[in-house]
Amino acid sequence: MRALIFVIAVILLIICCYSIYESTCSKIAAEKDVLTWYEPSLAKLRMKVEKLCTALATHQSSAVVQQAFCESRLAYKNIEVFAEYFSPYMVQLINGGGNDTTKGNNRQAFQALERLLYPSLQVADTQAAYIEARRLVTAVNSLSLVASKPLPTDAQLFDAMRLELVRVMALSLSGFDVPESGQQLKEAAAALDGVTSVWNLYEDRVRIYNPALVKYTADLLTAAHMQLEQGTPESFDRQAFISEYINHLSVNLKLSREALSIPYDSQQYILDPAASNVFARNAVHPLYVSAEAQSDSVGSHDPLYNINGQQFRASYIYTLLQQNGALNAVAEGTK
């Protein structure tokens, strides 16, 4: 009997040691493998933007140029989860509020291009559009500099995923950063694909502790993607999508992070990384709560979201995301 107990104890010890070893190896792999996903995806974005430049330089039809623009946008949205977190200042040159949501003429490259390309590209605007496209190429090339920085940590990658879910809600779903092209649902799907690519690096580790959570997350991602593919911008229920998918995915990422014992740092935040979602009580730091959260829309693609008793404009959430990115960048620079 003692021998049996000893054998069982040894087997359990071996299983425990193997799980710890596998988790440690997976941790190192996740931090390295995220770059093996990001770098080819960034190369695809470069290729799409160069294709856009070529279409403009060779005076292709407005439809061909618009298609190249849309493909570039989708390629960018796919890496937005990583680029926004680790290159926030450079991204401000690439993407921002759309034509009817931007005060003045301070538009980022994508938004300046969209203003020239829609509803159709005029011959007189071709040169100006080409200049904006080349400006976009320069900014996109600078995103590769992130590879020379220290490897991202697990905590940073989980923060990046959850912030991207907020970005999907504030920008992509509403068309806040692409009001003219009408492909906001496709862009939301591309952004979710980026989140999925990062999440896939952690699936096996989380499965050790909570296989049901992994399955539920996979089911949510699949169902959300299907909703976006089948929906149309005119009739899409954004608020229901946020409640049913975005908020639940945010909770699942929080639970996954805690299952892996990935700590939250003690730095000041604007959007609390430990909050279940952006609409949770105190998810926004009290110093950054503003009357602008519910103020009149600054454009036709600036909806008021009303969830869990919290009301936020898309433009207000976008401002919070920008401030949060700047604060993260400063914090990382002081380490």
Task: Report pLDDT for 17.
Answer: 46
Average pLDDT, the chain: 87
The pLDDT, as a whole number, for residue 5 is: 62
Pick the CATH number of 36-333 from 1.20.1420.20, 3.40.605.10, 3.20.20.70, 3.40.309.10: 1.20.1420.20
For the cut 90, the answer to whether the pLDDT of residue 297 exceeds it is: no
Could you give the CA distance from residue 116 to residue 160 in angstroms, rounded to a whole number? 32
Above 50 in pLDDT, residue 101? no
pLDDT at 25 over 70: no
d(CA 309, CA 314): 16
pLDDT band at 312 (very low <50, low <70, confident <90, very high): confident
Report residue 294 as tokens: 């519910």
User: Given pLDDT bands bounded at 50, 70 and 90, which one contains residue 130?
Assistant: very high
> What number is the average pLDDT over the span 89-105?
72
**Torsion sign across C-alpha atoms 42, 265, 32, 277:** negative
- Phi, psi at 273, each rounded to 5°: -65, -15
How many Å apart are CA 175 and CA 300, to the nearest integer?
Answer: 9
Confidence label for 23 from pLDDT (cuts 50, 70 and 90): very low
Question: In sequence order, what are the beta bridge partners of 304?
Answer: 313
For residues 98-105, average pLDDT: 51
pLDDT recorded at residue 102: 47
pLDDT at 147: 59
Instruction: State pLDDT tens for residues 154-205.
Output: 999 999 999 999 999 999 999 999 889 999 999 999 999 999 999 999 999 9
* Statement: residue 100 has pLDDT above 90: no
- pLDDT at position 326 is 84
288: tokens are 């950054």
Q: Which of 14-18, 121-125, 136-140 has the lowest mean pLDDT?
A: 14-18
pLDDT of residue 269: 83
Q: What is the mean pLDDT of residues 268-293?
A: 85
What's residue 310's pLDDT? Answer: 83
- Does the pLDDT value for residue 149 go beyond 90? no
pLDDT at 77 over 50: yes
Q: What is the mean pLDDT of residues 91-113?
A: 75
pLDDT for 156 = 94
pLDDT at 242: 96
Residue 305's DSSP bridge partners are 312
- Name which residue leads in pLDDT, 29 or 288: 288
The tally of CA atoms less than 13 A away on the side-chain side of residue 132 is 21
What are 231-263's pLDDT values in tens digits?
999 999 999 999 999 999 999 999 999 999 999
* Residue ranges per structural domain of the chain: 36-333
**Banded model confidence at residue 29, pLDDT cuts 50, 70, 90:** low
Average pLDDT over residues 43-63: 98
Of residues 100 and 212, more confidently modeled: 212
Query: Rounded to 10 degrees, what is the CA torsion of 305, 308, 311, 315?
Result: -50
Q: Where are the alpha helices (DSSP H) in the chain?
A: 2-57, 62-86, 88-91, 109-117, 126-142, 154-167, 184-199, 203-209, 211-230, 238-241, 247-259, 314-333
Which pLDDT band, with edges at 50, 70 and 90, does 290 fall under? confident
- How far, in whole angstroms, is CA 262 from its chain's centroid? 20
